[in-house]
Structure 1
Amino acid sequence: DQWRRQRAIINPTFSILKMKRMLPIIDDCMATLIMKIEECTKTSSESFDIYKLYKSLTMDLIWRCCFGIKTNMQNNPNDPYLKRSQEVFARENSAYLATLLTIFIPELRPTWLACHCWLNYIKVNLRRLLPMGEKLIEDDPNEWLKDNVECFIRQAHLSHSHNHNNNINDCNDNITKSTDLIHLMLDATEKNSTDTNQDDSNERVLSLNEVKQNIYLFMIAGYETASTALAYVTHMLATHVDEQKKLQNHIDSFLKVYGVLDHEIINKMEYLDWFIRETLRMYPITPIIINRECAEQIDLPGIG
């Protein structure tokens, strides 16, 4: 019921019309990626790791589409948002280990999470109390991410409450106007609360904590999955030159007719769709950390 309620509120956020509002952001990020690839091919005749560029691209898209924050992470590998985000998803992170243990032995999930929380609690206090703690013990990237996400959500909530979109400068000066996912989710929440009776309006509104959880899910589901899929598609293009030329001619034919490729035109590109689907069939992207757990026992008719 909780999942169904949240889906009913959030699904309007991902309508085609609202997703179109993010196309300029995506185009801008892609233009930066193309420029970086051109730089890599001009400065060196040797091969280069395009997967790193794809990871920077997807994280750039996530921060801009989720929070409206324009970073420079594709051009600056030391960008704090990029470094911190990559630390969160690094396999050395204790949260990653806790996630794996939860997947393999879900019955002990409370134990794994409790251990992770206690380790972080000890680490934070040692870092704060020891004379050289800040130099010897690194701060937790998960806490940094959590604090920033909560800060941006509070700002977006205040901007909706007071209608002051120009005053969102407390956490980051680069926050752009409200085409980001947080504002779209709050828009959907606000619309649902006005469209329903007062008795069940609370059921049609996401709490700030639920908004935060869904933003986390968006980040987790979109980072390595999208960048890995792009890497596999690039690998297939590089190793199948005939298919590469055929796909290029297919795209050029649409460019010749329409001039610009928008959402509707891309949906008409059957061969592009076939190529991506075949790549994902050969190299499926397994969502290791996105899993579901049955909340209660259900008897399926005819199965028992």
Structure 2
Amino acid sequence: MSLLSVVFTLSAHVLGSLLFVLFVAFLGYCAYLHYVHLKYDHIPGPPRESFFFGHSLIVWRTMKNDDLTHDVFLKWAERYGSVYKINVLHHVLIFVSSPETIKEVLMSSKYTKDMFLHKRLFSMFGQRFLGNGLVTARDYDQWHKQRRIIEPAFSSLYLRSLMGTFNEQAEKLMTKLADIADKKSEARMLELVNRVTLGVIVKVAFGMDIELLENASSPFPDAIETCLKGMVHNIRNALFQFDPRNWAFVEEVRAACKLLRSTGAEWIRDRKSAVQSGGDVPKDILTQIIKSAGKEERMTKEDEEFMLDNFVTFFIAGQETTANQLAFCIMELARHPDMQEKAQKEVDDVIGMKREISYEDLGQLVYLSQVLKETLRIYPTAPGTSRDFVNDIVIDGIHVPAGAICILSSYVSSRLERFFKNPLEFNPDRFHPDAPKPYYCYFPFSLGPRSCVGKNFAQMEAKLVMAKLLQRFDFALTPGQSFEIRDVGTLRPKGGVVCAVTHRKHCGP
């Protein structure tokens, strides 16, 4: 027998063995899928479209049509009740809108962030993204150490000291809007508030000034946008990066992640050197974090990486969600001129013509607080959170075996008729001080120990920007405006909130 024949025979044997192993693995996976289906099929839920892909095809189709997947989840909650399941390959997702279970899961530290989402946020397409920062850390001790280091930077006492910087950055938006009003041109409010909130987080948190309202060529807004788009695809389509048609975009996402992390590494390194040398450093959140970390008994190289993870987290979450809340708030006040007028009157009564708004002033803007809370009810910019069910649990009489992923959707809960009468109606009086408080069905910043550390920061910023806007301008939506929502991981107005902006009579040019 020739050498070529031997090689050919061996190759055929190897190929045959490989095919046999793959066939056995395929049968094993089919058997496991069948077992998973049997384990959870007593739980209500929509019918699967595919034995293998479960409900993934519905989600992919919704995304391809540029429709909102959260509306699909809401429709299923209305049909199947407070607990229902969907299948994504071999994963089982349990959507819960039972207030008692929401309370139990979010108020306890025993329910860890789920591994499915953790893996897809830790890195994107092989490039580290949020890593093990505050949002993604699953280990309680690891998370608690970071929270302990970061929390002082978001205390009310420290945030009060930043009011001057909040005012300074918000004034840049007012100057830009005054110019737009003078020229009688259209204002793309989502884009403008995106840039000002990014400017705020960069200045207030990291002591840098990148003049985003004037510098349209800055790479940061595009990098954040690219990361958010990549995040959605990475979470909802496990096969996305393997499609050659997506490879160019995948590389863009990797480059955007690298830009944010390399920028963060440089800023943190420079600031640490300045702190250690006793130099003059800004009294910002980054300085607070570095000083708090210095008080820890032991800081490892991994802790340094966590600091960078949190830089990226703050960079994205610290501006994107607040910008979207502002844009939705502007959209709704423009749709309801009577509410806009009522909010303006309150601002006039509390602030008058002052340019420097104080922390005490913000506390007196009660109606504006109601407007902002109602904005987050109907448009929760961070639409939900998730946990692992590591133990069996009974939800409203339905037994849920361990091993499933628990999905808690603020978007769904906030739009259910059983919790809010006429839920799609924008009604700030729901949050009047004398109105009954929502019972564990309203959680735009999550709840419990893992609630958003930057909640007070975000709400101070949103209220101050809106107060200045209402103080000086009237705004109306341009005709043909879309009120649809776009999902980029966070929720934002699809139409961009294009407005005609005019000076109020007492604030003319």
User: Structure 1 length normalisation: TM-score?
Assistant: 0.71
What code does the residue aligned with 1:86 have?
Answer: P
Query: Are the aligned partners of 1:66 and 1:215 in contact in 2 as well (CA < 8 Å)?
Result: no
Q: Residues 70-119 of structure 1: CA distance to partner in whole angstroms, max 9, x if unpaired?
A: 122212212x3xxx2122223xx4x55652244236xx6xx98999xxx7
Shift of 1:205: 11
1:43 match:
183
How far, CA to CA, are the matches of 1:21 and 1:114 in structure 2?
A: 49
3-state SS, counterpart of residue 48 of structure 1: strand
Query: Are the aligned partners of 2:230 and 2:253 in contact in 1 as well (CA < 8 Å)?
Result: no
Structure 1's 98 and 280: CA in aligned 2 closer, same or farther, altered over 3 A? closer
2:342 match:
246
Query: Are the aligned partners of 1:60 and 1:73 in contact in 2 as well (CA < 8 Å)?
Result: yes
1:86 aligns with 2:225: no
How far, CA to CA, are the matches of 1:283 and 1:238 in structure 2?
A: 16
2:285 match:
181
1:213 aligns with 2:309: yes
1:158 match:
273
1:270 match:
366
What code does the residue aligned with 1:59 have?
Answer: L
Query: Are the aligned partners of 2:350 and 2:364 in contact in 1 as well (CA < 8 Å)?
Result: no
Structure 1's 141 and 190: CA in aligned 2 closer, same or farther, altered over 3 A? same
Give me the CA root mean square deviation. Answer: 3.4
What code does the residue aligned with 1:63 have?
Answer: V
1:65 match:
204
3-state SS, counterpart of residue 157 of structure 1: helix
3-state SS, counterpart of residue 323 of structure 2: helix
Shift of 1:222: 2.1
Structure 1's 256 and 88: CA in aligned 2 closer, same or farther, altered over 3 A? closer
Structure 1's 301 and 10: CA in aligned 2 closer, same or farther, altered over 3 A? farther
How far, CA to CA, are the matches of 1:50 and 1:98 in structure 2?
A: 24
3-state SS, counterpart of residue 53 of structure 1: helix
How far, CA to CA, are the matches of 2:265 and 2:355 in structure 1?
A: 41
Query: Are the aligned partners of 2:329 and 2:372 in contact in 1 as well (CA < 8 Å)?
Result: yes
Query: Are the aligned partners of 2:293 and 2:299 in contact in 1 as well (CA < 8 Å)?
Result: no
Shift of 1:50: 1.7
**1:114-125 mapped onto 2 (5 Å cutoff):** none
Structure 1's 178 and 300: CA in aligned 2 closer, same or farther, altered over 3 A? farther
1:131 match:
none
Larger radius of gyration: 2
What code does the residue aligned with 2:182 have?
Answer: K
What code does the residue aligned with 2:286 have?
Answer: I
Structure 1's 297 and 142: CA in aligned 2 closer, same or farther, altered over 3 A? same
1:133 match:
none
What code does the residue aligned with 1:238 have?
Answer: A
How far, CA to CA, are the matches of 2:361 and 2:370 in structure 1?
A: 15
User: Does 146-155 or 180-189 show the bigger shift?
Assistant: 180-189
Where is the helix percentage greater, Structure 1 or Structure 2? Answer: 1
How far, CA to CA, are the matches of 2:212 and 2:377 in structure 1?
A: 31
Where is the strand percentage greater, Structure 1 or Structure 2? Answer: 2
How far, CA to CA, are the matches of 1:138 and 1:272 in structure 2?
A: 37
Query: Are the aligned partners of 1:98 and 1:112 in contact in 2 as well (CA < 8 Å)?
Result: no
3-state SS, counterpart of residue 216 of structure 2: coil
Shift of 1:207: 2.3
What code does the residue aligned with 1:34 have?
Answer: M
Structure 1's 260 and 186: CA in aligned 2 closer, same or farther, altered over 3 A? same
Structure 1's 292 and 212: CA in aligned 2 closer, same or farther, altered over 3 A? farther
How far, CA to CA, are the matches of 1:298 and 1:262 in structure 2?
A: 48
1:197 match:
none
The runs of 4+ residues in structure 1 deviating greater than 3 Å are 95-98, 111-115, 203-206, 256-261, 291-294, 298-304
Q: Residues 137-179 of structure 1: CA distance to partner in whole angstroms, max 9, x if unpaired?
A: 99923322221110110111112222123xxxxxxxxxxx422
Alignment size in residue pairs: 253
Gaps of at least 5 residues in structure 2 are 1-139, 402-509
Shift of 1:6: 1.5
Query: Are the aligned partners of 2:223 and 2:256 in contact in 1 as well (CA < 8 Å)?
Result: yes
